Structure 1
């Protein structure tokens, strides 16, 4: 699906330099890194040795950090803009539970080198189309912007050192409600109650906006918000509204959306589904992250699908057409292989299987393994037609 949009697959190593993984931009995920000991260590270490002196590598916790390193090393030979996608495992030291795993797969799509909201809109369209292709419908794209959140925090009088805690509290709104958010921000983090209450009033006035109302309401709610931020959001929601007229793509501006990674610099987005307690995809713009490796900032934007969460939502197995070429002991193996070769040339999934035991029992076993048809070769001279096995799945 992503190839249709002009994206090309790349692969990056599972192991990364621990300093890169712990660069301070991975948010809470940096606490969940599986760290790898240096090679050649003695069985015992001296008392007082720090853990960080024993570690030089770690397993990647997402695919963005490795992508940035890849781009920094190869940018001179890559096109501008650079469109890439990855499908690979990542690791986090989670407490395993439904929707959260220690090893899981991500499918990332990234566009590097385009500063316009073409990147955001294209990534969202490609990702929602990919979800549609596997039968995940009835999704909602939630949008916000880190620049809006920063402007909101400043507007209600919060000092910049307090912003991260303010954002973390807002991000919990869907789980603990406004009373819980207020208790965390005021009672636990010591933020001024007046600032928290004012932010609630502003946020509630920005929920449920139509596409043609987003820009004006944003500008009125936070007057210091740069015009470019307002214009970018207006363009994004306009494009999504237009997309929604041709496909079943829902969207909403969500002023409480934060995203946990510290590297986001602009628009952020998630895709939610009514049957999933967590988002099935998330991403945003990270214009400063490439500069940490390259020495100069490069505009970049990405979207990541959580593969296991998507699998949990698929209720029906994809249609399969698999043929078993079943041959008797007297039939030459070369004849069975030739018959299978013909089937594969027609695009069929085909497996060669020796005849054994009672035929009805073997056919039942083949059906249980997912085969939908069988060709039974009784002798080398006969031309055997395909017979269906059960119903086509």
Structure 2
């Protein structure tokens, strides 16, 4: 039998113990902010029924859903005529009933509908789990990645949107990021723009195109709009709006003139102004949280289910795409039979945030190590002596381990270095005869003799 070289599926990764400590640092930091704002955690399955997911993300999103083949002989029950056509899209429903979740929002909507008699409204939940997308892997973009989502359903208050801005600000600041922008727009404004130029039926085509402005430039957006059914005259009307300049207040004033004849567009402007009003009130007596919020008319968020305010967060400290996004969805649960239940939510891109923190060297030193102290092991007598010390450390909440076999000091120190363990306790004959143990700081190389109790106090 030939040997098969082990490989990873493209767009996926293994995570080492050191990486997991850093990833959990991100998750724990974000979760602590979610809890502070009154959100509780749930989890949903990795796979959903394909019918649950399709039709929620637009045509481009649906193409990126990972389908799961039915078990057994999945071709046996397929209509022979479909097979003869060799049309995979037409045959998908016959060979695949399930799929890996594309995001956490649609499964959350499904959860709300199925558990509507068990939850109290408004229902505030957060969720930290992996999602899968059949996208082209590149830096900061993976086929399997984690999302940290926070949503509230059953509340149409725009206070939620204002608080989400603060959640972004607080969580990212706690992770050490200093220069990032929270971009804000409203899908009603975009709908109003489509109305004003006389192409309301092409709202999706317009938003998909202008959402790519920072990637393909104005010329690229113009070409795509032409390909999607817009005229040169339409584009001439759109350009001043797309390239809107000024501060938030100036942009809103300009938009009021542009959208004067669109009731929908004016409603979107009103909602943005209300969010800013809430935000100013929340920060009235706060001198530490200073969110940098930018009204960005080109922000469209390609997902079809957004109906109101939409968010996107980008860091200016590293070359990276968005590290967060979300928005208001007025009737997502209606797709599952529960009408009129509005919701709003945001997501943190944990994998991209990890890459940014790594590049900027923002992980705290303790986040690079799991074990905080290693106890040396020179012989059987030292091993037995060390065991109550080991348990004392663990009882005090200090992550500690005893080297598992008698070995030379150099080998044990190499083990500590490889695992980035910051301290080593050395137990030799002198230590066993006295009341003090030798502890070495692996970073500075300094050693000192302390009692077991003093070492516990030092490491805590």
TM normalised by structure 1 equals 0.90
CA-CA distance at 1:204 after TM superposition: 3.0
Q: How does 1:1-393 map to 2 (within 5 A)?
A: 1=32, 2-26=34-58, 28-41=60-73, 47=80, 48-49=82-83, 50-158=91-199, 160-186=200-226, 188-205=227-244, 207-210=245-248, 212-223=249-260, 224-226=262-264, 227-240=266-279, 243=283, 246-274=288-316, 275-314=318-357, 315-316=360-361, 317-320=363-366, 322-331=372-381, 336-378=386-428, 383=435, 384-391=437-444
- Could you say what the CA RMSD is over the residues aligned between the two structures, in angstroms? 2.4
CA-CA distance at 1:276 after TM superposition: 3.1
Please tell me whether the aligned partners of residues 131 and 145 of structure 2 are also in contact (alpha carbons under 8 angstroms): yes
Cα distance between partner residues in 2 of 1:376 and 1:292: 64
Cα distance between partner residues in 2 of 1:245 and 1:182: 43
CA-CA distance at 1:165 after TM superposition: 1.2
Please tell me whether the aligned partners of residues 27 and 261 of structure 1 are also in contact (alpha carbons under 8 angstroms): no
CA-CA distance at 1:17 after TM superposition: 0.3
Structure 2: gaps (5+ residues) = 1-31, 84-90, 446-460
Cα distance between partner residues in 2 of 1:43 and 1:214: 56
Please tell me whether the aligned partners of residues 329 and 354 of structure 1 are also in contact (alpha carbons under 8 angstroms): no
Please tell me whether the aligned partners of residues 331 and 378 of structure 1 are also in contact (alpha carbons under 8 angstroms): no
Cα distance between partner residues in 1 of 2:231 and 2:51: 36
Cα distance between partner residues in 1 of 2:321 and 2:422: 36
Residue-pair matches, total? 388
Distance 1:362 1:169, change over 3 A: same
| Bigger shift: residues 169-178 or 234-243 | 234-243
Cα distance between partner residues in 2 of 1:202 and 1:42: 51
Distance 1:111 1:260, change over 3 A: same
Cα distance between partner residues in 2 of 1:345 and 1:70: 40
Distance 1:98 1:359, change over 3 A: same
CA-CA distance at 1:176 after TM superposition: 2.2
- 3-state DSSP class of the match of 2:340? coil
Cα distance between partner residues in 2 of 1:234 and 1:225: 15
Cα distance between partner residues in 2 of 1:24 and 1:271: 22
CA-CA distance at 1:130 after TM superposition: 1.2
CA-CA distance at 1:177 after TM superposition: 2.1
TM normalised by structure 2 equals 0.78
CA offset digits 1:98-119 (Å, max 9, x no partner): 1111111111111112101111
Distance 1:76 1:333, change over 3 A: farther
